[in-house]
Amino acid sequence: MEEIPATGGRDWSIQDVARIAGTTSRTLRHYDDIGLLKPSRVGSNGYRYYDSAALLQLQRILLLRELGLGLPAIAEVFHRHTDPVIELTRHLEWLGQEQQRLARQIRSVRQTIETVRAGGQLMAGDMFEGFDHTQYKDEVEQRWGKDAYATSDAWWRGMPADEKREWKSRVEALGRDWQAAARSRVAADGPEARELAARHVEWLKSIPGTPAADDGGNTKAYVLGLADMYVEDPRFAANYGGVEGAGFVRAALRSFAEKFL
């Protein structure tokens, strides 16, 4: 791979950048047209050229695309966060967590294959290692304490498989309804959004160990904190169609919390 200096130095033609980044010149021109990635200069022949700063911007775009964000949502991320080092550090942390999760899944599937080939006994706990909710363990413990995570984790692991499937189905339905409402451009403080926010809060209250379930007077702060997390963390934003959808969820939850919590 061609070496790219961190700052200064040469620039690259649009064809070179497309080859290096594994994308197309057409895609790069589109990013230019919508103001997402401007070339550092345009030659007298009309060719676009990109310096190292532009390549850094392109790397961020491609990372966010991998996270499932649409181009309008990526533009919003760039508007809110201007320090590329801070944002790339966040991306790197997320990729590291994803790498660990995928490694657990690989070990789980490999072990299942080996066990089946040998005619052995499958262990349910081993089969689903890396497929559960523990990817959010650090966030939960940091924000709400280890007891909150331990309580909710024990509740989830003790739930029968059929109840888990039903519970996941309800959560997925809620996520789809949020995305549909966001696409429909309904008012975040309107009746449809209010009904979704009420369902969302009831869902949070159903999870043991959370401030909402404990009902210790912290439900409002808990909901508002989660609403911000949905927008700030791409993993959560992806559940609502990206940053734009998560922004709608946050606005609706904020409106609901101020009036009813």
Beta carbons within 8 Å of 55's beta carbon, 6+ residues apart:
4, 12, 17, 20, 21
- Residue 6 to residue 127: CA distance in whole angstroms: 43
- Residue 85 to residue 259: CA distance in whole angstroms: 38
Query: DSSP secondary structure string, 208-251?
Result: TTSHHHHTSS-HHHHHHHHHHHHHH-HHHHGGGTSHHHHHHHHH
Helix boundaries (H) for the chain: 14-21, 25-33, 52-66, 71-80, 84-117, 124-127, 137-144, 146-157, 161-183, 191-205, 211-214, 219-232, 234-237, 243-260
Strand partners, 49: 13, 41
* pLDDT given for residue 193 in this prediction: 95
- Residue 162 to residue 173: CA distance in whole angstroms: 17
- The pLDDT tens digits along the chain (261 residues) read 444 444 456 889 999 999 989 889 999 999 999 999 999 999 988 889 999 889 988 988 888 787 666 788 788 778 766 677 777 777 777 677 667 767 776 776 777 677 677 775 544 444 344 444 555 566 666 666 666 667 777 777 777 877 877 888 888 889 889 999 999 999 999 999 999 999 999 988 888 877 777 655 578 888 888 888 888 877 788 788 888 899 999 999 999 999 998
Nearest residue to 233 (alpha-carbon basis) of 142, 157, 129: 142
Strand partners, 42: 48
Domain boundaries, the chain: 12-80, 141-260
Count of residues in the chain: 261
- Render pLDDT for 80-115 as a digit per residue (tens, 0 to 9): 666 777 777 777 776 776 677 677 767 767 776 776
- Topology given in CATH for the domain delimited by 12-80: Multidrug-efflux Transporter Regulator; Chain: A; Domain 2 (1.10.1660)
* pLDDT given for residue 165 in this prediction: 79
* pLDDT given for residue 2 in this prediction: 45
Structure tokens at 168: 């996941």
Strand partners, 12: 50
